[in-house]
């Protein structure tokens, strides 16, 4: 088997005595979508926030493309070509789409000033691909609809040629049409060889989009299964009961 794109080994983190993630291991291969499922507070978001650099893990190891990686900040994570779409979208509401897309990685003129025209031109290009209806380039993103805000967050992750993409509830705020567009995009990125961690509550959607699903409960990993090996009911019982029916047999 090939070297995994990402390998998180025996990762733990605690917040004031609560073991939010307890000795969890998970891996992700290139061109693969791995879904993370579980109740609210199961530790899914916390787990991937250690990969995206928002939290620093207490113990465990992260390996990226077969090399030990140190991720202490969001900047470190970006340096490993990891991009994250947060559940909250993490947009600065008072800035326009281009400023948000390039936040922390502004394009600059030779003089070192931010090059707003160039960033706006690049934003127009990528938006034409992701969301052709997107027109409000000059307005602060607070003036945009939920779907448009989501596409700004997605554009930010896709633009910088990520190898590893983390999507935390990417479709939670979206309508039917926009959800379908996100599903299409995930398929396209997968073909390009990206590895994607996907977090969602929608079990059916996950069965459609993912290659493998991992279920967490109370900070622990219940199990990881290929979607073709399990039924939706198996997944639901893992989420609710915290037991893997497959491992019993």
Residue 91 found at the interface with other proteins (CB under 8 A): yes
CA distances from 42 to 19, 205, 237 (A): 10, 19, 15
Q: Which of 106, 202, 205, 234 binds other proteins (CB under 8 A)?
A: 106
Q: Sign of dihedral through CA atoms 147, 209, 176, 199?
A: negative
DSSP string of 81-144, one letter each residue: TEEEE-TTTT--TTSBHHHHHTTTS--B-TTS-B-HHHHHHHHHHHHHHH-TT----SSBGGGS
Q: Please, which residue, 112 or 248, has the CB nearer to other proteins?
A: 112
In this structure, the number of other CB atoms found within 10 A of the CB of residue 198 comes to 25
> Exposed, middle or buried, 142 (CB in 10 Å: 0-12/13-18/19+)?
exposed
CA distances from 179 to 78, 164, 202 (A): 26, 21, 12
Residue 140 found at the interface with other proteins (CB under 8 A): yes
- The β-bridge partners of 165 are 83, 196
Q: Footprint of other proteins on residues 141-160 (CB under 8 A)?
A: 142-143
Work out how close the CB of 105 gets to other proteins at its nearest, in angstroms, rounded to a whole number. Answer: 8
Residue 135 found at the interface with other proteins (CB under 8 A): no
Stretch that binds other proteins, among 6-14, 72-80, 165-173, 199-207 (CB under 8 A): 72-80
Q: Footprint of other proteins on residues 42-71 (CB under 8 A)?
A: 52, 54
Answer for the pair 156, 131: CB distance below 8 angstroms, yes or no: no
Stretch that binds other proteins, among 118-126, 193-201, 214-222, 235-243 (CB under 8 A): 118-126
Q: At what angle do helices 116-130 and 146-159 cross, to 10 degrees?
A: 110
Residue 78 found at the interface with other proteins (CB under 8 A): yes
Q: Please, which residue, 110 or 229, has the CB nearer to other proteins?
A: 110
Residue 72 found at the interface with other proteins (CB under 8 A): no
Residue 120 found at the interface with other proteins (CB under 8 A): yes
Residue 118 found at the interface with other proteins (CB under 8 A): yes
Residue 169 found at the interface with other proteins (CB under 8 A): no
Q: Footprint of other proteins on residues 21-40 (CB under 8 A)?
A: none
Cβ contacts of residue 63 below 8 Å, gap of 6+? 4, 6, 7, 8, 9, 69
Residue 207 found at the interface with other proteins (CB under 8 A): no
Residue 117 found at the interface with other proteins (CB under 8 A): yes
Q: Where along the sequence are the contacts to other proteins (CB under 8 A)?
A: 52, 54, 73-75, 78, 84, 86, 88-95, 99, 103-106, 108, 112-114, 117-118, 120-121, 140, 142-143
């Amino acid at each position: 088997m090939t070297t995994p794109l990402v390998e998180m080994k025996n990762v733990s983190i605690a917040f004031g005595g609560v073991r939010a993630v307890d000795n969890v291991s998970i891996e992700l291969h290139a061109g693969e979508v791995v879904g993370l499922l579980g109740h609210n507070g199961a530790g899914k978001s916390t787990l991937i926030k250690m990969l995206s650099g928002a939290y620093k893990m207490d113990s465990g190891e992260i390996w990226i493309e077969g090399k030990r990686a140190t991720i202490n900040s969001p900047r470190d994570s970006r340096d490993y070509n990891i991009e994250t779409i947060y559940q909250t979208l993490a947009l600065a509401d008072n800035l326009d789409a281009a400023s948000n897309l390039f936040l922390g990685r502004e394009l600059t003129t030779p003089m070192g000033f931010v090059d707003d025209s160039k960033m706006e031109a690049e934003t127009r290009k990528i938006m034409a691909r992701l969301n052709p209806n997107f027109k409000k380039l000059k307005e602060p993103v607070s003036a945009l609809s939920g779907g448009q805000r989501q596409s700004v967050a997605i554009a930010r992750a896709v633009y910088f040629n990520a190898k590893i993409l983390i999507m935390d509830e990417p479709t939670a705020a979206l309508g039917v049409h926009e959800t379908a567009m996100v599903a299409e995009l995930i398929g396209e990125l997968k073909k390009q060889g990206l590895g994607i961690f996907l977090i969602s509550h929608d079990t059916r959607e996950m069965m459609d989009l993912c290659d493998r699903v991992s279920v967490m409960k109370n900070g622990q990993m219940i199990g990881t299964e290929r979607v073709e090996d399990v039924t939706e009911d198996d997944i639901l019982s893992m989420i609710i009961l915290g037991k893997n029916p497959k491992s019993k047999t």
